[in-house]
Amino acid sequence: MIDLHTHCLFSDGELVPAEHVRRAEVLGYSAIAITDHADSSNMDFIIPRIIQAARELNPYTKTRLIPGIELTHIPPQLFGELVARARNLGAHIIVGHGETVVEPVIAGTNRAAIESGVDILAHPGFISREDAVLAAERGVLLELSGRRGHSLTNGHVAATAVAVGAKLAVNADAHGPGDFLTAEMAKTVALGAGLSEERYVQIKTDMTTLADRVET
């Protein structure tokens, strides 16, 4: 069990990293990324602290903490610069806050995030076929969200990804203790979006491959 999009109290989450990881550990997670919301104003605050937490916690937990960041509601023109800055600060997973239908995300954000080289495009709403094709070409995972509201377009995202061969991820977008997905619920998110069990197995493989590639 892996989740590559969650939040602690460094942005709008509820838990310190230690409790965040502990709750994931009890649920049987092998790895979890903390990807707090950021723009240019707080990125240099968040990333080093998650890195420090990972260094201290990982030797003692079964769940590996992966330091990450979610670039959130930034102008599309800034994505390239801020992705590079996040990499330089040491972020191992970069999530782009996609064009969810429940927030006023700027049109063009999906394309800008993919072009900039994010690892995951979170809750990309009614992503276009053209942007999904680009995600497939760039190896960007398109997210099926377990979070209320963001999950409304999971069926569209899944169908579009399958049609063009794009990779998918299932993430909780957890902000608090009640948000973490169990293994059964993660599978339900995927199957509920119209995917087969075989496709869900491939999702888990793709997420594991990404997590292993960025191992701390």
CA torsion 116→119→123→128, rounded to 10°?
A: 50
Percent of the chain with pLDDT over 90: 98
Report the distance separating Cα 139 and Cα 168, nearest Å. 10
Q: Is the pLDDT of residue 35 over 60?
A: yes
CA torsion 70→75→79→81, rounded to 10°?
A: -110
- Topology of domain 2-213, per CATH? TIM Barrel (3.20.20)
Q: For all residues of the chain together, what is the average pLDDT?
A: 97
Give every CB contact of residue 4 below 8 A, 6+ residues apart in sequence: 31, 32, 33, 35, 66, 68, 93, 95, 119, 120, 141, 169, 171, 207, 210, 211
Q: Is the pLDDT of residue 216 over 70?
A: no
Residue-level pLDDT at 152: 98
HSE (side-chain half, CA atoms, 13 Å) at 137: 10
Residue-level pLDDT at 80: 98
- Per residue in 130-148, pLDDT tens? 999 999 999 999 999 999 9
- Dihedral sign for Cα 121, 125, 129, 130, please: negative
Distance from the Cα of residue 128 to its chain's centroid: 19
Per-residue tokens: 190: 């995927």
Residue-level pLDDT at 110: 98
Q: Is the pLDDT of residue 215 over 80?
A: no
* pLDDT bucket at 82, cuts 50 / 70 / 90: very high
Q: Which sequence spans correspond to the domains of the chain?
A: 2-213
Give every CB contact of residue 130 below 8 A, 6+ residues apart in sequence: none
The whole-model pTM stands at: 0.97
Residue-level pLDDT at 214: 86
Across 160-185, average pLDDT: 98
User: Which DSSP symbol is given to 103?
Assistant: S
* pLDDT bucket at 32, cuts 50 / 70 / 90: very high
Give every CB contact of residue 76 below 8 A, 6+ residues apart in sequence: 106, 108, 109, 111, 112, 113
Per-residue tokens: 68: 């990450």
Q: Is the pLDDT of residue 54 over 90?
A: yes
- Per residue in 196-211, pLDDT tens? 999 999 999 999 999 9
Residue-level pLDDT at 163: 98
